[in-house]
Structure 1
Amino acid sequence: MTGRNKLKARIKAGETVAAAWLDLGSPDVAELLVHAGWDVIVVDCEHGAAGLEDGFNLIRAVEAAGGEAILRVPDASEAVLKRALDRGARSLMVPMVHSAQMAQGVADCCLYPPRGQRGYAAPIVRASGFGAIPDFARERAHEELLLMVQIEHVDAVSEIPAIAAIDGIDMVFVGPNDLAASMGYLERMDTPEVLDVVNKAEELTLQGGLSLGTVLWPNRNYRDLQQAGYRLIVGPCDVAMLANAAREARAACLDMLR
């Protein structure tokens, strides 16, 4: 919480925000993406190359370049969440939240008492500017936290109304491929059965007053997702952008040399 969470304010104001994935774990790539116009970057410590400690330095790189960072933590354990928050992550994405009970545990770990059970070390952590923000634990920590839970299993969809009632949860982030996989349709997100479940997740989330987030789908573009009510859409990944550019450059080279 080293500064005001502009991303949370943008989403609360109704803006649909587009972000990019940072999976290579490179601070240079982080800066490059921000300077290329991607002002919101998801630092991926679940599937990406960076471990949690490296992820904190990637947040610094994003912020130094003028962007806003979301940290996708590797899991929902108390130790991981507490450390991520103490080290200054303002926006957290928590993967594989399959139940309201699990979501409650996530929120409890992220909120100070009496709202939760987050361990107290406010005067010495980066989140408070190493004590420079005197009201951090009482006010700023909760005001500036953007907490997202990923719904990635069919069984979690029916839990969304209960999740929406949990203090501290701001967004349901739909993971369509894992959701499809849990139904036996891995990499077949556009099957009618999967679409019905996703539509239900969208409906329940909006009814519950939470914001919606997701990844960019192969057959659902930014406008489609915006019209469906999504306020965070995470699109291109640095790995894919580099790989695609490398393939295109190599194909162009071979065409000229034939």
Structure 2
Amino acid sequence: MTENKCLAGKLRAGQTIVSAWASLPSPIFSDLFLRGGYKAITLDLQHGLLTTAEARDSIKEIINGGGHAVARICVDDFKNASWLLDVGAEVIIAPMINSVADAKKLVEFCKYPPLGARSYGAVGATMATGVSMDDYFASADEKTLAIAMIETPEAYDALEDILAVDGLDGIFVGPADLSLTVSGGKRVEPVSDASLAMQKDIAEKTRAAGKIAGIYCVSKGHLQHSKAAGYQFMTFGTDSTLFINAAAEAASSLD
């Protein structure tokens, strides 16, 4: 995969990417997202219903369809971060990265030495893309991204130090959890004025550090606000929600 065709290259070139969010356990949803016009699909292994095997098959479907595969791992599941990259994911999003130590652990599993300690042997990625193992290895640290989720007051307070971690490519805001944790568990308000101001500050600091700013968007309005705030990588459109809404609209025609 050439630099200008990989997701990392597009983002570093200043493109804005909107990714679908896949939570259902079948590669067919990745195929449908691609047919619908999405170029990137984020597989949610933290809260979604996908197993690692289903994520593997979805990643292959995404690559074969000409799209970009992103994977959100479970909390502290760094070993599967390496495995998902080996399978062919281009981006790993890791939740609950609250400190420099957490960020360094993510980099350790996502980057090859000397940046990290990822083990050599990306069989799935090389088979799916048709590149040799040596060619994949030579450019993997540039063409794959390690992204830390910022979703707690601890992470927000440590943001600039986290962004300074060598090998970390960017951040991804979880706006629901950020509002929940900042309020001490009292509110889930991802688009309140206070939440939006915090999100804007995070984007500005991330861009100032020369890194990629990403966010989960909860509505079309939030998507537009996030773009204006400086976010380059945004997720919007979840398979389960889209299907339920479309089904409800179709069913209502019977009334």
* Common fold by TM > 0.5: yes
Tell me, yes or no, if the aligned pair for 1:21 and 1:43 is still in contact at 8 Å: yes
Larger radius of gyration: 1
Tell me, yes or no, if the aligned pair for 1:19 and 1:42 is still in contact at 8 Å: yes
Shift of 1:232: 0.8
Shift of 1:201: 1.7
Shift of 1:172: 0.8
Decide whether aligned partners of structure 1 residues 187 and 6 sit closer, same or farther in structure 2, where only a CA change above 3 A counts. same
**Deviations 1:10-35 (CA, angstroms, capped at 9, x unpaired):** 11111111111111122112111101
Please give the secondary structure, in 1, of the residue aligned with 2:19.
strand
Name the CA distance, whole Å, in 2 between partners of 1:212 and 1:241: 25
Q: How does 1:57-206 map to 2 (within 5 A)?
A: 57-121=57-121, 125-129=123-127, 132-137=132-137, 139-184=138-183, 185-206=186-207
Shift of 1:50: 0.8
Aligned residue identity for 1:253: L
Tell me, yes or no, if the aligned pair for 2:179 and 2:195 is still in contact at 8 Å: yes
**RMSD, matched Cα:** 2.1
Aligned residue identity for 2:170: M
Shift of 1:219: 7.1
Name the CA distance, whole Å, in 1 between partners of 2:174 and 2:223: 16
Structure 1 segments unaligned to the other structure (5+ residues) = none
Aligned residue identity for 2:12: K
Name the CA distance, whole Å, in 2 between partners of 1:165 and 1:252: 54
Task: Give the % identical residues.
Answer: 28
Aligned residue identity for 1:140: S
Name the CA distance, whole Å, in 1 between partners of 2:204 and 2:250: 43
Structure 2 match to 1:29: 29
Aligned residue identity for 2:105: G
Structure 2 segments unaligned to the other structure (5+ residues) = none
Aligned residue identity for 1:224: H
Shift of 1:76: 3.2
Name the CA distance, whole Å, in 2 between partners of 1:144 and 1:70: 12
Shift of 1:131: 8.4
Aligned residue identity for 2:232: R
Aligned residue identity for 1:167: D
Aligned residues: 250
